[in-house]
Amino acid sequence: MRSGTVWLVVLGLMSFTTVTAAEFRFEDVVEQARERAGSAYQAPDTIPDFMRNLSYQDYQSIRFDPEKNLWKEASSKFQVMLVPAGKFYTRPVNIYVVDAEGVSKLEFDKSLFNMPDSELSKRVPADLGYAGFKLTFPFDGPDIANQFLVFAGASYFRGVSKDTAFGLSARGVAVDTGLPSGEQFPDFTDFWLVRPARNSEEMRVYALLDGPSLTGAYQFTVYPGEETRLDVKARLFIRDDIELLGLAPLTSMFFYGENTPRPDGEWRPQVHDSDGLLIHDGESGEWLWRPLINPKRLATSFHQTSRIAGFGLIQRDTEFRHFEDLEARYERRPSAWVSMDDDWGAGDVVLVEIPTDDETNDNIVAFWSPDDKVTGGAERSLEYSMTFGGPDVARHPGGKAVNTFIGAGDRIGGGDQSGAYRVLVDFAGGQLADIEPDAPVVSKVSGGDGVEVLEHFVEWVQPENKWRLSILARPAKDSILQLRGYLELDDQVVTETWTYSLPPGAGPGSQR
């Protein structure tokens, strides 16, 4: 039996099996996923209406007592805080601990939570259940349990590194995201937390996923630090045909930014968790940067390649003065980068941008989708790494697009072309850092169908040590403004490829 007074009560509520940590393996979860896939889907139980209808403030008042962290009594570097079901989290999950004593289930215990409202405390069911868990690690000192990874709600999980704050989320899988038929949200229904050694720098978590169209087994090996990395192994079993399967999905928020109009009444310069999608094409070696927008209507974009090396949602803007929000601290939001450990074959990086009227909605989704059809009865294995950290988490070596500005192309400073846009893209870093201001840097720009590129040129921006690409382009009436551009020196590419897509009615000035 474990030592410590806090967990003696909890352990009395655990049920044990004789499988030890050394014997419990990923294949055990795979077998459970395979078995579930062979039967009809059954939706998990939901919590009582009272708990689903709690106000946001009431739910937030139910706080896990950090003095009761799992493994705190052993001064473990990794500790666990439990998330109560309620409000958004309507489906309880099963959480097991795998250690030298076996596999034990954590039964719900409301005494682990502080609830200052006595009436609310009385009404919370004694068998409510947990919605998920938070992992902690001592980023700020040996006695400080910093939360760095949260699994809660459907197949969502969020991670941060040492110097970032929670923002974007990841998911186990996405199913039919952005399609008119509607999206499915499979759930992680069971978790197994493998207890690490007291001073271990890594930890392993297993998860079982279940949904109407598929099941899955997941293994997460977690490495927190200056960057927090999750090595992911997954095995999916397809129940029914899936039109659009999303692998390694990332979900974020973009309300408005430097490249979009500021909504009426907003005083903050920008509001977003991520400002762009970065793609590393493993076939061409090209790096592509796509600034995000908040469209008027749902927009879905596809980047096709025969081999993907990596992709991610990035928060490149990390200056407080560009957000001026002391509460949200958007400049500290993490970036997330997905890198493939093997060849995933041909497919698309899919970007879904959903209209939103405020910052409370995660309206951006990016994922990898295979070219081959996903049919019932099929199986799919994959391995990848997901890293949370600062804007350079992708180790992109070239010049980067650090600003994108857009305005009307028919006014002073923009041009004299009705229906056109003036687009400015600032590049910095990489090889550009060693180029003299008078170097013969040239721009390469092209437009999509129906887009007329009227002019483009490059200027050195002396005050900020950047190179500015200026474009004047006009889309056909009611057409999408699609542009791509990069910089060259002596016939050598010195930057990533900047890409942009602006639907009709989403731009500034006369086109708004």
Tens digit of pLDDT for each residue in 397-444?
A: 999 999 999 999 999 988 999 999 999 999 999 999 999 999 999 999
Mean pLDDT to the nearest integer, 73-99: 96
- Residue 285, C-beta contacts closer than 8 angstroms, at least 6 positions apart: none
Q: Residue 194 CA to chain centroid, in angstroms?
A: 24
Q: Tell me, which fold does domain 244-396 have in CATH?
A: Beta-galactosidase; Chain A, domain 5 (2.70.98)
Instruction: Give, in order, the Cα–Cα distances in Å from 335 to each of 250, 297, 326.
Output: 10, 25, 20
Note whether 188 and 209 are within 8 A (CB): yes
Query: Which residue has 């990533």 as its token pair?
Result: 496
The residues of the chain that CATH labels 2.60.40.10 are: 400-511
Task: Give yes or no for residue 253 having a pLDDT over 70.
Answer: yes
Instruction: Render the burial of 416-429: b for 16+ CB within 10 Å, e for the rest.
Output: ebeebbbbbbbbbb
Task: Give yes or no for residue 2 having a pLDDT over 80.
Answer: no
Reading the block at residue 148, the tokens are 């760095």
Of the candidates 20, 139, 129, which has an alpha carbon nearest to the alpha carbon of residue 78? Answer: 139
Give the model's confidence band at 506: pLDDT under 50 very low, under 70 low, under 90 confident, else very high.
Answer: confident
The architecture of the domain spanning 1-152+175-224 is Distorted Sandwich (2.70)
Class of domain 400-511 (CATH, top level): mainly beta
Q: Give percent of the chain above pLDDT 90.
A: 91
Reading the block at residue 342, the tokens are 């093997």
Q: 168-208: per-residue pLDDT in tens?
A: 999 999 999 999 999 999 999 999 999 999 999 999 999 99
Task: Look at residue 1 in the predicted model and tell me its pLDDT.
Answer: 33
d(CA 379, CA 219): 16
Task: Give yes or no for residue 269 having a pLDDT over 50.
Answer: yes
Task: Look at residue 22 in the predicted model and tell me its pLDDT.
Answer: 63
Question: What one-character DSSP code corresponds to residue 330?
Answer: G
The residues of the chain that CATH labels 2.70.98.10 are: 1-152+175-224, 244-396
Note whether 298 and 355 are within 8 A (CB): yes
Task: Give yes or no for residue 14 having a pLDDT over 90.
Answer: no
Mean pLDDT to the nearest integer, 41-65: 94
Q: 134-144: per-residue pLDDT in tens?
A: 999 999 999 89
d(CA 162, CA 153): 24
d(CA 166, CA 362): 13
Give the model's confidence band at 20: pLDDT under 50 very low, under 70 low, under 90 confident, else very high.
Answer: low
Q: Where do the H-state alpha helices sit in 19-114?
A: 26-37, 49-52, 56-60
Q: 346-394: per-residue pLDDT in tens?
A: 999 999 999 999 999 999 999 999 999 999 999 999 999 999 999 999 9
Task: Look at residue 347 in the predicted model and tell me its pLDDT.
Answer: 97
Q: How far apart are the first and last CA of the chain?
A: 67
